[in-house]
Structure 1
């Protein structure tokens, strides 16, 4: 389907448009396949230096399509240990890794070999990532290079000061227990390093469309959801929008919230498009019937519309999102594109996890009981009363709001307890 020189014939354009017709990907193709112009020549203006890096076979395939669709990234890079697969990728920047270890034949599903391949190419990859603000790392989980090498690459990019977003595709269940187990392990390792990891589970696509759909259609549906989501992510970082979000917003929302991150994009048209687009968002396979939205602690939202989009549309979407996500912090971006006349498109990144701000738990102040001395029988007059000093009732001690704090110990003694109590002294 690809021209020999990397361009596209008229027939190829028609085929691609037909495959993605009616989707946001199709709209991007309509805009970017101008006569005589390669789609990579059209780029949106981004507020940051965004590098989209695909590692392994699945990651490379996604990045190749994204480069074709004109995502406004600063650059695209595909990394692979399979020399033949890398040669067939139509992206200008490629990096072969682990040639001495794999002899150019790939990792064969070996995670540890995948990690070694990436680590052995540290110097060359450092040059490729130099000066990058955000690395969007795309990988398929369950195999060798993508599963084992993603965390190693994320560590390298993070060490250079880049914000690292992992976008990982997890296997269908029918791909077997071994691949599923390796995928889980790969995701966990990547989460330890990346600022956020967004999982795109292929199994959810199968559950949405049913088992009667052809295998080809199922994979195409999964690819469509991935590509639409990443195109929306690019819009989040645009510098020429009506409402813009920057790197600081992205970092603030995602940092420290590693429990669950999801990326989804939908669009709708018509008079009530603001409501329809949110209904479709809730029904998105990755949103699990709205559960992900309801439980999210933070949302990054990109809203796209045509020249007819009003501030009332933006406000309605914001209000309805607030109703769907009662506890979430919402950061909203909005932009206008000619291809969205009479339409609204929305892209959402959800983040879930505990906030790093810890509010101290209020502990009630101690209740001081008033001790009333018991009356003694009166002594006969004329008998001289001998004065007796009473002991003070000071044995009951509480730490108040510091009740749950760690004790200050020195040579086995808690220094937070007054000395006269520690040494059983009686005060008079």
Structure 2
């Protein structure tokens, strides 16, 4: 008979036998992002697979509890992606349980034009209207002044992401939302472990969202999460995620409340099975215990992952400081970011453009990315969507034209950072403007 624990030990040994490939400059790709996986992660997945944990169950619930406690929120709802988490968060704010405070079609939600589409898409998918604001050119985030100026008579919420792990001024923007009676949704997908004024990002809003895609701070393969301190919203999110069911039993449970056949809701007859009564128009956006097993293993290493990201970002910032023609990022004052990437913006008067430096780096196997969508309104999908623009989008356009970023994730070593720095410096040195020759003094007769 095969012993389960012997099999797990064999899998751990198998992990240790994987070749450790040395870094070869110009040959080994320096990825912009990626999962950082160890023997504990492999054996956690294997153990869940051996137990046939193929749907959401006890491990998913354990991860939700552990992650909520780690971030500092009362409830977490595990989902199949960060995009689904954003959809659930916005949709929850339209629920009848919120009474007159609920969002209705035509209400406005303030967001950034420069960002990732799935922060904005749920606004449109719920019949709401995005109000696009610009960003600060140093932090790549919206400012309280831009948010305040965007508030109109129909504005009911703000949905913003902490760009590349750098917190937006979330305490001040939360205060604006409170003063105007607006909801705040924090897209914390790039910023798990970041802090603003000593407090974790993802704890300021009515709802916050996280992605566990392999690019992010923790991974479950695919996956995401919605967090909230509001128990009404937590229950609505759970219902929307679980087909829209009114029942609060977990899948596989039958009668936790003891009254499964004692309900009379809507136009259904008394005693209709509560497991099949629907109070919301929902989805199936659950994750599995396999994903949760990996998430629990990853969560134990979160502090180390965040420290590595800060270290890598700090080295790039220090060693590229003062470089010609590139504008480097700044952390938001009062913040301690757990960085997602290191952004650089080509100066308007540079003797090269983004295309030039990006292609130089890519040829050296240094992966680059644009700052997500740059300016969403310049994309075909958004050219005709209903929206309002507050002010102008000058910096968003500049980001679309001139900004790129490189990786800082934990799989990047000091040797790789050295190569990135040397490559950027070599490129810029080769593109310095020739000095303008001094004018010759005029001849005597021309004075």
TM-score range, shorter chain: under 0.3
| TM-score, normalised with respect to structure 1 | 0.25
Larger radius of gyration: 1
| TM-score, normalised with respect to structure 2 | 0.25
Structure number having the greater strand percentage:
1
Question: Comparing both chains, which one has the higher relative contact order based on Cα–Cα distances under 8 Å and sequence gaps of 6 or more?
Answer: 2
